[in-house]
Amino acid sequence: MIFRSLLGKTDMKHILGLSIDMDNQWSYMKTHGDQGWDKYPSFFNVVIPTVLDIVKELDIPITFFFVGKDLEKDENAKEVEKITKAGLSIANHSYNHEPWLHKYSYDQINKEINKTDTLLKSITGQKPIGFRGPGFSYSNELFKVLIGNGYKYDASTLPTFIGPLARWYYFKTAELSLEEREKRRYLFGKFSEGFRRNRPHYLIVSKDTKIAELPVTTFPIIRSPIHLSYLVYLYRYDVKLLNAYLHTAALSLKLFNIPVSFLLHPLDFVGGDSVKSLAFFPGMDLKTDEKLNIIRHVLRFLEQRFNILDMNDYYKACFTKELSCEPE
């Protein structure tokens, strides 16, 4: 075993919402500007069974955020049906997975939400109550659409300062036209995102309307990411660095009494040996088995220290009188 725990089991009352954005192989290629994305290559048949095996092994819940375009293929729909049979929840991640969603009009966003809603309900029987924008993209028009369609929460914000750095890396490794670069101008958010609230809170959309916002949690004060892709990045330098960062983040979040939204991505579950076409992505120099060891280590660590919920239950728990909208 390459890992060892540095802290014992602690209070389980602190809550953590667990989710995975089911960005498919084509969506990574599309964002990166790679040819062939429009043939919609998929790795659902690899990723979904792997995720299901791990959450079953660890006996933890999770919410899957799906892109509507993927749900139109029968082979993908069959994989999504496995999630319903496992008793897990789903949410909306747009229809076309375009990180420039913030540029869309109300009608365009409404179409994105409703097309994905219809497909999700037909496959899973579930009506989504949560949404996360591709590339953490959001707008006031989006919030109006969500409210109008009966959504309870949005989960599109990532309060971190490093968005421009992540965007620079993408631009450095991608072959994009000026028009494509302009579309991706605010991919992963502006520097100012780091000043957004790190705690679940209500967004006031208009005078009489509001929606719950569940940010993807970042490290208190310094606002560096703590989602799994970032932890994999730290592991590549040193497993001790990953452990130290993870332990310190958990202690800090408890100290500041911040409910945790912890995000996973499909590439956390596959290495460069499985999907060679995505070798440009950070962490894809690791093999699949090595990544799965990291996932098990991190999720076991979190399960020992937090009460893990899916995002629907996390939303409900965050907006009880005890936790709702506390100041930072």
| Domains parsed from the chain with CATH numbers | 15-318 (3.20.20.370)
**Rounded mean pLDDT, 130-141:** 95
Two structure tokens written together for 108 = 């365009």
Judge whether 30 and 274 are in contact, CB under 8 Å.
no
C-alpha distance from residue 303 to each of 13, 65, 187, 269, 309 (Å): 11, 21, 31, 18, 10
Q: Find all residues with CB under 8 Å of 307, minimum gap 6, and list them.
A: 12, 13, 14, 15, 16
Q: What pLDDT does residue 321 have?
A: 54
Which pLDDT value is given to residue 326?
47
pLDDT of residue 274: 86
**pLDDT, averaged across the chain:** 88
Check: CB of residue 3 under 8 Å from CB of residue 246: no
What pLDDT shows up at residue 13?
A: 65
Residue 45 has what pLDDT? 95
Bridge partner residues of 19 (DSSP) = 63, 263
State residue 99's pLDDT score. 86
pTM, 2 dp:
0.89
Comparing CA positions, the residue from 133, 197, 191 lying closest to residue 162 is 191
Helix intervals (H) in the chain:
25-32, 44-58, 74-85, 106-124, 140-148, 163-173, 178-183, 228-235, 239-255, 288-305, 311-318
Residue range 27-41: mean pLDDT, rounded: 86
Question: Strands 153-154 and 130-131: what pairing?
Answer: parallel
Check whether 94 has a pLDDT greater than 90: yes
Nearest one of 18, 143, 123 to 77, comparing CA atoms: 123
Segment 33-57 shows an average pLDDT of 93
Stretch 148-165: mean pLDDT, rounded? 88
Alpha carbon distance 48, 52 (integer Å): 6
pLDDT-derived band at 3 (thresholds 50, 70, 90) equals very low
Give the position of tokens 């496995």: 82
User: pLDDT value at position 162?
Assistant: 74
Q: How far apart (Å, rounded) are the C-alpha atoms in residues 176 and 187?
A: 13
pLDDT at 328: 47
Instruction: List pLDDT tens digits, range 177-206.
Output: 666 666 666 666 677 788 899 999 999 998
User: Which of residues 309 and 327 earns the better pLDDT score?
Assistant: 309
Mean pLDDT within 232-250: 95
DSSP state of 254: H
How would you label 265-278 residue by residue, b for 16+ Cβ within 10 Å and e otherwise? Answer: bbbbbbbbebbebb
